[in-house]
Amino acid sequence: MTDVSLSKESIVSFPRGVRIKEDKVRERTILVAPERTVALDEIGVAILSIVDGEKILAEIVEELSAKYNAPKQQIGNDVVAFIKDLQNRGYLDVKS
């Protein structure tokens, strides 16, 4: 797992075997990876539902900023922190 720095042009994707799934028993959305899971809150689901392996980080931030009518800087900071955390834990890949 390589920690690639995030930039506006970075492409975020799910590594092989990682996906978003609805946990019907607990009635929540989870991020599933081989032999581990992470429960997602509403914000995490909003961010990861846009990740398609093609959009650059700037497009993800732009889309969320428009959807929630929030400042791009604030959304950008939150998205970067969230993506870096999941990247460091092996749940997301980042290509610059």
Residue 50's CATH number: 1.10.10.1150
Grade residue 1 by pLDDT with cuts at 50, 70 and 90: very low
Decide if 2 is inside a domain.
no
Decide if 76 is inside a domain.
yes
| Structure confidence by residue, pLDDT tens digits, 30-40 | 999 999 999 99
pLDDT value at residue 3: 55
Decide if 28 is inside a domain.
yes
Decide if 6 is inside a domain.
no
- Please determine, for residue 86, whether its predicted confidence score (pLDDT) is greater than 80: yes
* Nearest-10 crossing angle of helices 72-88, 57-68: 130
Decide if 1 is inside a domain.
no
* Residue 20 three-state SS: strand
Give the count of domains, the chain.
1
DSSP for residue 53: S
- Please determine, for residue 18, whether its predicted confidence score (pLDDT) is greater than 80: yes
DSSP for residue 15: P
- What is the residue range of 67's domain? 11-95
